[in-house]
């Protein structure tokens, strides 16, 4: 009876670990852009919920996060050993065999979407998978090259672009891609500020370690101002909404709030902004 109970607990324990590894707090960073992309691409209400849009949302909600963060944790094992954030907020990888298996399965699931989405969306699925792997895995390991670590994180808008392309049959507007890419660059580099000391201790070079904390703030603000400008060129209302990010970061920078605390507020900020963007896209269908 005891061995049966232990056997039942192991799958639950592994599942719990994988869910923690996938960063549930950040799930909407990938799945949210899918909703935004569908909202602005759909020609009618009937096109909002289809097998393709549901499949894209489901994939980018959980499996894509296991793929992206699982690769990161496997190849960052030594760095994470001295990173206190891993004990407090995230799961620390200690060589569990289930992780590489889950990463491989999650990557294959992305390929499984290919037959079901229009060819125009294939590019964006490839952008996500290739950059998602190249960011953490050797020999490229983009996360250890200043500036490229930031630029490569445009991968976070690939789900939204894939969803837009799948529904509309064409690529999203260039300025929307540019604005989203700059937003993702700023978001990634903000997240690297709390890791400056652990990264320096382990010899990892990033945009944040190169610039230092003060200039990294300025870099992120610049990315977000440029993002707001790109979106404003398409729609002034969207540009005004995206200006929340540089304004928020200026407030954090000038206050006494530590960035490693403010960093955990961004999921809430992103959820509100993403919801407003999605509602704006839906409004045009009414």
Would you give per-residue pLDDT tens digits along the chain (286 residues)? 334 343 334 555 778 878 888 889 899 999 999 999 999 999 999 999 999 999 999 999 999 999 999 998 888 765 655 555 555 555 666 667 888 899 999 999 999 999 999 999 999 999 999 999 999 999 999 999 999 999 999 999 999 999 999 999 999 999 999 999 999 999 999 999 988 988 888 888 999 999 999 999 999 999 999 999 999 999 999 999 999 999 999 999 999 888 888 988 999 999 999 999 999 999 989 8
Domain boundary among 171, 189, 213: 171
pLDDT of res. 6: 39
86 lies in a domain? yes
pLDDT of res. 32: 97
State the DSSP H helix or E strand holding residue 8, giving kind and residue range, or none if neither: helix 2-21
214 lies in a domain? yes
- 23 shares its domain with 160: yes
Written in H, E and C, the secondary structure of 90-140 is CCCCCCCCHHHHHHHHHHHHHHHHHHHCCHHHHHHHHHHHHHHHHHHCCCC
- 18 shares its domain with 125: yes
Domain CATH for 239: 1.20.120.1780
**How far apart are alpha carbons 98 and 15 in whole angstroms?**
9
**How far apart are alpha carbons 222 and 85 in whole angstroms?**
26
Domain residue limits at 40:
14-171
- 67 shares its domain with 134: yes
Total of domains in the chain: 2
- 46 shares its domain with 166: yes
CA 154 to chain centre: 8
Q: Is the Cβ–Cβ distance between 135 and 5 less than 8 Å?
A: no
Q: pTM for the full model?
A: 0.90
99-126 b/e with 16+ CB inside 10 Å = b?
beebbeebbebbeebeeebeebbeebbe
155 lies in a domain? yes
- 239 shares its domain with 125: no
Of 140, 179, 146, 141, the C-alpha closest to 36 is 179
Q: Is the Cβ–Cβ distance between 121 and 165 less than 8 Å?
A: yes
State the DSSP H helix or E strand holding residue 229, giving kind and residue range, or none if neither: helix 207-234
pLDDT of res. 10: 57
- 204 shares its domain with 160: no
């Amino acid at each position: 009876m005891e061995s049966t109970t232990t056997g039942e607990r192991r799958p639950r324990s592994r599942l719990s670990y994988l869910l923690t590894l996938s960063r549930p707090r950040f799930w909407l960073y990938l799945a949210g852009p899918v909703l935004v992309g569908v909202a602005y691409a759909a020609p009618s209400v009937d096109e909002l919920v289809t097998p393709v849009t549901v499949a894209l949302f489901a994939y980018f909600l959980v499996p894509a996060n296991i793929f992206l963060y699982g690769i990161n944790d496997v190849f960052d094992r030594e760095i994470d050993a001295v990173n206190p954030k891993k004990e407090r907020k995230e799961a620390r990888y200690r060589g569990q065999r289930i992780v590489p298996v889950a990463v491989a399965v999650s990557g294959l699931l992305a390929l499984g979407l290919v037959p079901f989405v229009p060819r125009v969306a294939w590019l964006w699925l490839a952008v996500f998978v290739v950059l998602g792997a190249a960011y953490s895995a050797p020999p490229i390991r983009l996360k250890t090259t200043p500036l490229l670590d930031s630029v490569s994180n445009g991968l976070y808008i690939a789900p939204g672009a894939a969803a837009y392309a799948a529904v509309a049959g064409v690529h999203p507007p260039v300025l929307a891609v540019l604005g989203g890419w700059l937003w993702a660059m700023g978001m990634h580099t903000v997240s690297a500020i709390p890791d400056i000391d652990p990264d320096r201790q382990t010899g990892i070079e990033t945009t944040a370690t190169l610039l230092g904390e003060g200039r990294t703030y300025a870099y992120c603000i610049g990315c977000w101002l440029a993002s707001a400008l790109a979106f404003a060129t398409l729609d002034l209302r969207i540009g005004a909404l995206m200006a929340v990010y540089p304004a928020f970061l200026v407030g954090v920078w000038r206050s006494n709030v530590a960035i490693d605390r403010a960093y955990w507020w961004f999921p809430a900020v992103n959820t509100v902004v993403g919801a407003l963007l999605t509602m704006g896209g839906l409004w045009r269908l009414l």
